[in-house]
Amino acid sequence: MKMRKRQDLPQKICATCGRPFAWRRKWRLTWEEVRHCSQRCRENRTRPDANEKSR
């Protein structure tokens, strides 16, 4: 398999921090579902407040 340069890999924008991130081999099967650049961003994503739902 031919090596590819990092700049040639597909990129997305993180839904939490807004920074671009590149494709990783561990995401090869789920690239379409990936929305966050890291575990930290995924855990810190904004969620609707539980108190707002009860109003």
Is residue 25 included in any domain, yes or no?
yes
pLDDT tens profile 10-25: 999 999 999 999 999 9
Whether the predicted pLDDT of 9 surpasses 90: no
Q: What is the pLDDT of residue 52?
A: 53
- For 1-55, where are the E strands, in sequence order? 11-13, 20-22
Cβ burial, residue 12 (10 Å; 0-12/13-18/19+): middle
Is residue 20 included in any domain, yes or no?
yes
Whether the predicted pLDDT of 54 surpasses 70: no
Work out how many domains the chain is built from and give that number: 1
Residue whose tokens read 């398999």: 1
| Residue 46: pLDDT band with limits 50, 70, 90 | confident
| Burial readout 19-44 (b: 16 or more C-beta within 10 A, e: otherwise) | eebebeeeeeeeeeebebbeeebeee
Q: What is the pLDDT of residue 4?
A: 74
The predicted model scores a pTM of 0.67
Is residue 35 included in any domain, yes or no?
yes
Is residue 55 included in any domain, yes or no?
no
Q: Identify the domain containing residue 21 by its residue range.
A: 11-44
Query: What does residue 43 show for φ and ψ, rounded to 5 degrees?
Result: -75, -25
Whether the predicted pLDDT of 45 surpasses 90: no
Is residue 4 included in any domain, yes or no?
no
Is residue 40 included in any domain, yes or no?
yes
